[in-house]
Amino acid sequence: MDVAEPLVRHPRDVVVRVTRSAICGTDLHPYRGELPGFAEGTVMGHEFAGVVHEVGDEAPFRAGERVFASDVVACGRCVRCRRGWHYQCPEVGLFGYDTVVGASLPGGQAEFVRVPFADVVLERTPDDVSDEQAVFVGDVLSTAYAAVSDAAVTPGDTVAVVGAGPVGLLAAVCASVAGAARVVLADPVPERRERAADHGFEAVEPGALSAVLHTGAADGAERVIEAVGSDAALVCALHAAAVHGTVVAVGVHHSAATPFPAGLSFARELTLRFCVGDPIRLRDRVLALIRAGRVDPATVVSHRLSLDEAPLAYRAFDRQEIFKAILIH
Ligand SMILES: NC(=O)c1ccc[n+]([C@@H]2O[C@H](COP(=O)([O-])OP(=O)(O)OC[C@H]3O[C@@H](n4cnc5c(N)ncnc54)[C@H](O)[C@@H]3O)[C@@H](O)[C@H]2O)c1
Ligand SMILES: [Zn+2]
Ligand SMILES: [Zn+2]
C-alpha cells in the first residue's frame, strides 16, 4: 500500500528511515478483528529501528544516526511522565495501533515513520547493538524485563510463565538472569513448548501447570507471569501461584469482566498486578543486559522476511507457523 511520506510536523519530531521492524502478538488483536472499529489502512508496527532521516528543530538527533523507538509514545514532561508512568501520559500513543491507545499514529512497518517527542521516545542504538536487537529493546524485551521486574523475581524463586510466545520466552530468560532457580512455561502449542525446552526451560500444557508446581516438594510458583492476554491464561496464572505469590499480567487484556478465582486468591493472599512494558524507562537497563551478553533477543527470531512479505508474515504468524518475524526494509 502506498501512503504519504511522513514529515516533521513539530519541533520535537524526528522522521526515521526504518531498517528493521517486527510483528508482535499485540498486532494480532486487530488482525483477528478483536478490536472493533480499528481503522482499515492503518500503518501497523510499533517495533522498529532505523536511521534518522529528518530532524525537528528541538530534537537532539542528527541525520544518519542509528536509532530505535519506544513502542509507547509519551510527552516526557507531564506529572505522570515525571513519575515514570509513561503509559498514563495524557499524550500517550502506540505506533500503528489506530486510536486504541491515544491518538492514531502511523506505525513503523513502512519505509519511513514520524516519531513525536523524539527526545523522549527515540534512543540511539549503541554500535555494539544490532538494529534487530534494538527492535526488541523498543518493546518485547523491555516488556519481558518489566514483567520480571514488577514480579520482583529474586534469586532462588520458582517462576511460572503462562504463554511461551516471544514475550513469555524472553520473560523466562530475564527471570533466569534475575536468579530464578526454576522456570516453568505453559503453552498449549507443542512447538512453542519445544522451543522453550530448547532454551533450557521446563515446558508444560497450561492444564498441567498447577499440578507440576504444587507437588509434595513444592508449593507453587512465588512469581507468575501471564504473557497471553486472555481470561483463561490469567486464571491459569493465579492457580499456579504459591501462597503470598505475585502474579504479573503482561499480556494485553481487553476483557470487561474476567471470571476471577477470588476465593483462591484470597486464601493464598496473592498479589496481582498488570504491567505495560515501558521502554522509555527501562531501555538503558535492557541495553546493558544485551551489551553484557546476558540476553540476546535475536535468539527468539524465527523468520527474517522483507517488508513486501509482511502480508504473508501476518498470515503465518496468525497461524503460529512463525514465532517471531523480523521485517527487513
Ligand atoms: N504489556 C505490554 O506492554 C505488552 C507488550 C508486548 C506484548 N504484549 C502482549 O503479550 C502477549 C504475548 O505477546 P507475544 O508477542 O508473545 O504473543 P504470541 O501470540 O506470539 O504468544 C502468545 C502465546 O500464548 C499461548 N497461549 C494461548 N492461550 C494460552 C493459555 N490459555 N495458556 C498458556 N498459553 C497460551 C499461545 O500459544 C502463544 O504461544 C500478547 O497479549 C501481547 O499483546 C504486551
Ligand atoms: Zn509489540
Ligand atoms: Zn507525559
pLDDT in tens, the chain (329 residues): 899 999 999 999 999 999 999 999 999 989 999 888 999 999 999 999 999 999 999 999 999 999 999 999 999 999 999 999 999 999 999 999 999 999 999 999 999 999 999 999 999 999 999 999 999 999 999 999 999 999 999 999 999 999 999 999 999 999 999 999 999 999 999 999 999 999 999 999 999 999 999 998 889 999 999 999 999 999 999 999 999 999 999 999 988 998 999 999 999 999 999 999 999 999 999 999 999 999 999 999 999 999 999 999 999 999 999 999 999 99
Instruction: State residue 36's pLDDT score.
Output: 87
Measured in angstroms, how far is the CA atom of residue 102 from the centroid of ligand 1? Answer: 22
- Do 151 and 111 lie in one domain? The reply is no
Residue tagged 503482561 (cell numbers): 250
- Do 53 and 134 lie in one domain? The reply is yes
Query: Which CATH number characterizes residue 205's domain?
Result: 3.40.50.720
Cβ(282) – ligand 1 distance below 6 Å = no
Give the distance from CA 24 to its chain's centroid. Answer: 8
Instruction: State residue 34's pLDDT score.
Output: 87
Written as nine digits, the cell of 165 is 510466545
Q: Ligand 1 pocket check: which of 26, 192, 303 to mutate, most ligand atoms within 8 Å of Cβ? A: 26
Cβ(169) – ligand 1 distance below 6 Å = no
Instruction: Report the interhelical angle of 166-177 vs 190-198 (nearest 10°).
Output: 30
Atom 2 of ligand 1 has which residue's CA nearest to it? 276
Instruction: State residue 173's pLDDT score.
Output: 98
Coil, strand or helix at 133: helix
Q: What are phi and psi of 140, to 5 degrees?
A: -60, -45
Q: What are phi and psi of 184, to 5 degrees?
A: -120, 125
> Which atom from ligand 1 is nearest to the alpha carbon of 167?
16
Written as nine digits, the cell of 5 is 511520506
- Do 230 and 314 lie in one domain? The reply is no
Query: Which CATH number characterizes residue 313's domain?
Result: 3.90.180.10
Instruction: State residue 217's pLDDT score.
Output: 80
List the helix and strand counts (H, then E) for the chain.
12, 15
Measured in angstroms, how far is the CA atom of residue 81 from the centroid of ligand 3? Answer: 4
- Does 4 map to a domain? no
Between CA 56 and CA 192 the distance in angstroms is: 43
- Do 154 and 250 lie in one domain? The reply is yes
Q: What is the tally of structural domains in the chain?
A: 2
Query: Which candidate, 240, 223, 225, 219, places its Cα nearest to that of 152?
Result: 223
- Does 1 map to a domain? no
Out of 257, 274, 291, pick the residue that ends a domain.
Answer: 274
Contacts 24+ apart (CB under 8 A), 190-193: 191/320, 192/164, 192/165, 192/320, 192/323, 193/164
> Which atom from ligand 1 is nearest to the alpha carbon of 28?
19
- Does 284 map to a domain? yes
Q: How far is CA 178 from CA 129, 145, 151, 175, 276, in A?
A: 21, 10, 11, 5, 19
- Do 267 and 282 lie in one domain? The reply is no
Cβ(316) – ligand 1 distance below 6 Å = no
Instruction: State residue 1's pLDDT score.
Output: 86
Cβ(162) – ligand 1 distance below 6 Å = yes
- Does 266 map to a domain? yes
- Do 166 and 285 lie in one domain? The reply is no
- Does 245 map to a domain? yes
Measured in angstroms, how far is the CA atom of residue 276 from the centroid of ligand 1? Answer: 13
Between CA 25 and CA 145 the distance in angstroms is: 17
- Does 5 map to a domain? no
- Does 3 map to a domain? no
DSSP 8-state code for residue 299: G
- Do 181 and 90 lie in one domain? The reply is no
Between CA 166 and CA 24 the distance in angstroms is: 8
pTM of the shown model: 0.96
Atom 1 of ligand 1 has which residue's CA nearest to it? 276
Instruction: State residue 293's pLDDT score.
Output: 97
- Do 111 and 19 lie in one domain? The reply is yes
Out of 236, 251, 274, pick the residue that ends a domain.
Answer: 274
Cβ(230) – ligand 1 distance below 6 Å = yes
- Does 263 map to a domain? yes
In whole angstroms, how large is the CA radius of gyration of the chain? 19
- Do 155 and 269 lie in one domain? The reply is yes
Out of 239, 254, 274, pick the residue that ends a domain.
Answer: 274
Coil, strand or helix at 170: helix
> Which atom from ligand 1 is nearest to the alpha carbon of 229?
41
Cβ(171) – ligand 1 distance below 6 Å = no
Cβ(225) – ligand 1 distance below 6 Å = no
Domain span at residue 200 reads: 143-274
CB 328 within 8 A of CB 307: yes
CB 114 within 8 A of CB 54: no
- Do 25 and 134 lie in one domain? The reply is yes
Written as nine digits, the cell of 6 is 511522513
Query: Which candidate, 244, 243, 242, 239, places its Cα nearest to that of 226?
Result: 239
Between CA 133 and CA 282 the distance in angstroms is: 15
- Do 270 and 282 lie in one domain? The reply is no
Instruction: State residue 218's pLDDT score.
Output: 82
- Do 252 and 150 lie in one domain? The reply is yes
